[in-house]
Structure 1
């Protein structure tokens, strides 16, 4: 990515915050209260000046004490309310930003997820947005009130002694000379830190989600070393950040302390000469602190701004990604028409996967796709689901390309049962109803579970349909997860079924039960089946043989046995035709 100018980065950062639509009323109220708080603080040194110049117990009346207390109380109350309002705005900005990022991620195409790790995306929505929150809630208040305090203090100081005030003005160019180069360095370090944090989060997410694989493979040492390396890289970036802070803080403190010594020395001479009073010098020093403290806060704000801009850059990239439109296109009126692949090509990163695939899926019938691993069967399903677009040719339903239909309408027609049905954390009922836009009746859920041969084992759970299944369904067996997936598909009542070898990972007993459930699911529906085991597709109305991304044969089981050598070889190996006497001897 081309390096952007500072002004462009700042503009994009501002637009990112603006698009969250923070409450202008609350920000204005916070600003006004901050001004009142700062003005109240500016009164106190003047009161101190008069108190020192005209000090006597008789001169301290109830009015003066009341005035001083009122200034302290007003400053405390207005400051507290202002801080709360800005925290509210900051929390709102981060919440809206996280909402935008989450919505964007949900609507991004599958191709985006092929190129980005889940943990990195999680880090963008949690760690990076937290940095923005810190800027808004902890630093913006100090920045704006600091400006007011500095302007007000300089105005009063010019009135008290313009010569000493001009000496103080030397602080500003010196501070800028220190902050600018260090700020640029902080931006680069922060950007690298956020990227490394995203990678580390991705590693943790991946390893912890596959902890059973780690344990069964004795890979604890390997994964420990990977995590250790990631933690050390974060440590290195943290040290780089610490070095910048170590430079900024002492340098600014050196400038401030030098200025304080100069003011005290020069001011003492001015008092001796009678040019100013002792009260003026004390007030001058108090106002100096009202300038110095905001200046130190400016350094914190400036470094945090650089960190926030670095963190926001990746978020801006993600928000700029093209997302899927669910509603654009026609409604699918009927899927009871042939689905035709017309010379379909598909390549992933210039790597051809499907080449001139031509086939027809007849409505209401079962079409099976068989072939060796890597032949493109799952890719064909992905094109049917419209996770990807063909790089050549077209998929036609009736007279329309399937891209002409809205994604939501098209996917509503499809029921997909993969090799291992995904299960989310929650209850059995929530998993069966997952994705439905309506609230199904309990009778419908039970009917779907019965047809999926799942009702019996669900009822045996202590809490029945309200049983928690654990993360990714760890409390369920493979057969139980598949049957819940089939019940989910039945409840959707899809017109087109995609079965991706739904029994390949099951034991023989579970396979028999799931096959019965699939029989109920397939009844009266257009079905496309991926099969590695030919025993699951012998009775299909049509079998398509796919090899190296090309259709090399099509027909019934008997026809392919006679005409397709590779299919016949598959049959001999998997069905052991010699033993079951099918079609005589082979």
Structure 2
């Protein structure tokens, strides 16, 4: 892991504090004060050993024999209370920062361009939100704790050691490395946290995964608010659970130390009633040894803070690099309340950012309102890329696409996409009820009757009513509890409910059995009626009645016409059709 320079470290943590922590400065101040109080109890406890031993063992002072053990108990009680306040406030602060950063990153993720999803691993996108953010706060608050609490503890204990015997203190520093090695070995057992959060993390991963895989549906059906709401619920739940865990753990630790102090106080009380010392007093000796033992742990943490800091800074770089990415360009301001659906593509070419060659080359085509236009060609010919240009998942490298004589680039994305519906071969459904999958995003504004009618028109009502809870039945991850035909009909119902004048259709019947195909095709025919429809055709038998068939090859349009015309031309389309006819017996 590459180290981050001091200036970079300062800028990264300055950004964290100014952007996320500054508004909570009161809680942060309380946490720092609690750290300082907890740190002060360390040398105070070691110093109490001197009056306890000298006055108790040597002078047999009854008052000291009673008050000093009580003072030890008081110190540990104060330490436990201060640690509880520190841990609880620190966890609340770190949890709040995690929640805010995750929320910001998730909102950013939903608004990234399609090209970003194409070029980045989905697992890495998810891990940034789920784990990198946690590492930032863990490392950040660990550094603060070590710097303030452990730093003050070391200063206090060193002051006590030098005050007690400066020569012996200098001598003991030669043995300190051996003590630290021993402490490091013993401290390896102290790493068990956050088991109760596994389920919440799993649920949140589910939401993020669905948002990534279904990002086109989120965009077209304006599901930003819905996805944000789902994500917020789980993020907030994780924060609350972390605070409870930390508070309980800190309380248990404080009580354990307090009980140990009570036992230790009893031992010290009975020991002082039987012993005496002279010269360098026994109290000085015990106080010195106690301080030496107590300084080992904070010094160990000081030596480890650099590794923790670098890990947190590396995560911070990753997170802020993502947050600084450019969102999906939306420079258009035109709002289209209604459209007729005339699409014109003029001399349009497109190249993917990481590709060497053009994916689309000099495309020109006119699509009249209400027409069904099929895109035909072999795999990699550019059919899907061309279809993706209509809802502006990508923007042309050169050329212009217009909708009702309005350049797509000048139309606000939300306004453009509310007029477009998508049904793809790979159906995107969410781990939710049947009803919420149909009434998704902007569709939630429709009435229950509208949803019912859309399901009926999509030939989905029959199987929905047979489900255990009807429209309220949860369908599982991406509709795992439904058949392929049932999933397709839900997607069609969603598009029917939206009632958009433009339909992008990635042929949805190629992987279905005959009965399911018939039901889905009937629903598609209803969906396509009186709409401008762009069909990405895989089986040529399904688009024979299209108003226009565009044949593509290597990113170019090589033939345009109706089915019979293209067969008569005996060109590329006729060759593709004859191959399918021979293979499938059409």
Q: Aligned equivalents of 2:29 and 2:104: distance in 1?
A: 25
Matches within 5 A, 1:154-233: 154-164=158-168
2:179–2:296 Cα contact (<8 Å) kept: no
Match of 2:86 in 1: 82
Larger relative contact order (C-alpha < 8 A, sep ≥ 6)? 2
Q: Secondary structure at the match of 1:394?
A: strand
Match of 1:446 in 2: 452
Match of 2:469 in 1: 463
Out of 413, 417, 442, the residue aligned to residue 411 of structure 1 is 417
1:317 aligns with 2:321: yes
Matches within 5 A, 1:47-196: 47-55=48-56, 56-60=60-64, 63-136=67-140, 140-164=144-168
Match of 2:198 in 1: none
Match of 2:5 in 1: 5
Deviations along 1:428-475, whole A, 9 cap, x unmatched? 112112222634322111100111111112112222112222222122
Q: Which runs of 5 or more residues in structure 1 are unaligned?
A: 177-200, 210-271, 581-586
Q: Secondary structure at the match of 1:54?
A: helix
Q: What is the CA-CA distance between 1:167 and the residue it aligns to? A: 5.9
Match of 2:47 in 1: 46
2:4–2:313 Cα contact (<8 Å) kept: no
Match of 2:20 in 1: 20
Deviations along 1:198-220, whole A, 9 cap, x unmatched? xxx9xxx99xx9xxxxxxxxxxx
Q: Aligned equivalents of 2:501 and 2:53: distance in 1?
A: 90
2:331–2:410 Cα contact (<8 Å) kept: no
Out of 319, 338, 356, the residue aligned to residue 342 of structure 2 is 338
* Structure 1 residues 289 and 574: alpha-carbon distance in aligned structure 2, compared to 1, 3 A threshold: closer
Match of 1:30 in 2: 31
Q: What is the CA-CA distance between 1:32 and the residue it aligns to? A: 0.8
1:501–1:530 Cα contact (<8 Å) kept: yes
* Structure 1 residues 64 and 565: alpha-carbon distance in aligned structure 2, compared to 1, 3 A threshold: closer
Q: Aligned equivalents of 2:45 and 2:2: distance in 1?
A: 51
Q: Aligned equivalents of 1:520 and 1:283: distance in 2?
A: 88
Matches within 5 A, 1:129-528: 129-136=133-140, 140-164=144-168, 277-324=281-328, 329-348=333-352, 349-436=355-442, 438-528=444-534
Q: Normalised by the size of structure 2, how large is the TM-score?
A: 0.75
- Give the alignment's Cα RMSD to 1 decimal: 3.4
* Structure 1 residues 289 and 572: alpha-carbon distance in aligned structure 2, compared to 1, 3 A threshold: closer
1:448–1:490 Cα contact (<8 Å) kept: yes
Deviations along 1:126-174, whole A, 9 cap, x unmatched? 3333433443566643442111112233344454445555667889999
How many residues end up aligned between the 2 structures? Answer: 487
Q: Normalised by the size of structure 1, how large is the TM-score?
A: 0.75
* Structure 1 residues 151 and 31: alpha-carbon distance in aligned structure 2, compared to 1, 3 A threshold: same
Q: Aligned equivalents of 1:298 and 1:538: distance in 2?
A: 75
Q: Aligned equivalents of 1:514 and 1:148: distance in 2?
A: 72
Q: Which runs of 5 or more residues in structure 2 are unaligned?
A: 181-204, 214-276
1:20–1:93 Cα contact (<8 Å) kept: yes
Match of 2:189 in 1: none
Q: Secondary structure at the match of 2:27?
A: helix
Deviations along 1:230-277, whole A, 9 cap, x unmatched? xxxxxxxxxxxxxxxxxxxxxxxxxxxxxxxxxxxxxxxxxx996x64
